[in-house]
Structure formats: C-alpha cells, structure tokens
Amino acid sequence: MELLNPKDVRISAEAGATPCLVGAQCGECGAVVFPRLPVCPKCKKRDGMTEVEIGRTAKLYSHTIARFAPTGFRAPFFQVFVDLPEGPRIFSLVGDDCPAESGVLEDGMEMRLVVEPLADTDEMRAIHTYKYVPAACADERRGDAQDA
C-alpha cells in the first residue's frame, strides 16, 4: 500500500490495532502539532519536539460538500475540519462509506480515523491517506470485519 504522506500516518500490523496520525509534542509546553514541526509554534522552543501518536478519534468541527472535483476526484465529496483530542484542528476528507449528502454529518459528532484510497478513481485508487468517518459508521465496519 502506498501512502500519500507516509510520515504522517502510522499503521500497526498488530491485531486489533487502529491506524493513527503521527504528530509532534513540545517537551517544554506540551503543545501538540500536526503535521510535525521542528520548532514549537506556541513557545518557540527548538529541538524539543518528539513524535506522538494522535488522532485515532476526533470531533467534527465543521464540514462542507465540494460540488466540483479536482482531477482524479469525484464530486460531490466532504471536506471537513476535525478537532483532535490531543489539540490540533486539522483538515480531512471523509471515508467513502459516508455518502456526501446534507444531513449525514453533524458538527460536534464523534469521528474515527480510517486509512483509505485517496479517491475511488484510476488516478488515486493506489494512493492511501487518512480520512475520518462518523464513529457509528466505523463501529459498523469493524463489526462486519469480525463477522467475516
């Protein structure tokens, strides 16, 4: 599997492990950033940032439906900002199981990280990236996997 940004996503081979993002935490003030930075944006300390696994869950901050697709994508699709429990607010796409229709997402809802093809098109199918899906949707998918 080819990842869009291999340094930003960690997929463990361990059974039952869930994928996560790799951010950086400041040893001085505790601020967490994603993607990683060499200097803390909050206290400006240099060389004090260490890798930290983040983003297995998130809370939906805002969402919109893109009606026009760039090359390699198919419209409509969701574009969202999610708040990670560790601090960062990040941009994300939404998993393909979640139809891009109004009423499907609700700001404030619990989300889970998944790793999926960037888009279901010839250009993007081989490239994987992180996306978020509603937690209820992720639980359903996990249940299906266990039944199989």
Q: Which residues bind Zn ion (CB under 5 A)?
A: 26, 28-29, 31, 40, 42-43, 45
Provide the minimum distance between the beta carbon of 132 and Zn ion in the complex, in angstroms, as a whole number. 26
Provide the minimum distance between the beta carbon of 32 and Zn ion in the complex, in angstroms, as a whole number. 10
Helix (H) or strand (E) segment spanning residue 80: strand 77-83
Provide the minimum distance between the beta carbon of 30 and Zn ion in the complex, in angstroms, as a whole number. 7
d(CA 66, CA 86): 28
- Considering the complex, state which of residue 32 and residue 137 has its C-beta at the smaller distance from Zn ion: 32
- Considering the complex, state which of residue 9 and residue 31 has its C-beta at the smaller distance from Zn ion: 31
Handedness of CA 141, 36, 32, 60 (dihedral sign): negative
